[in-house]
Amino acid sequence: MFYTRFCLFKQAYLHRVGKAIEEMITDAFLKADPHIQIEGSEGIMFTLSTAIDDMVAYTKLTDNVFEQILNHMSSNPDLESAE
């Protein structure tokens, strides 16, 4: 069982393509951070990086954030580099 876990970790989680995709997603989130607002409890707005401070805002950090970045790209030229 431990050998299988080791092999899976080495072959899948640390695969160079997976790491490259992880870097691209991180870069997109960093560039989109000041432009994407998430509503938290009591209507307070949070950025992607500060949403962790509010449980309501944190629960809204789903895969839908990618769609929000893509939707904001058409209206905000600063987000074109996050594509």
Q: What residue spans define the domains of the chain?
A: 2-82
- Give the span between the Cα atoms of 12 and 23, in whole angstroms: 15
| Residue 80 confidence (pLDDT) above 70 | no
What is the distance between the alpha carbons of residues 47 and 35, in angstroms, rounded to a whole number?
7
Whole-number Cα distances in Å, 51 to 13, 24, 31, 34, 42? 26, 21, 16, 12, 13
Whether 83 shows a pLDDT value over 60: the answer reads no
Encode pLDDT of 19-70 as tens digits.
Answer: 899 998 899 889 889 888 999 999 999 999 999 999 999 999 998 888 888 8
% pLDDT > 70, the chain: 90
Q: What is the pTM of this model?
A: 0.68
Q: Quick one: CA dihedral 82, 67, 65, 23, positive or negative?
A: negative
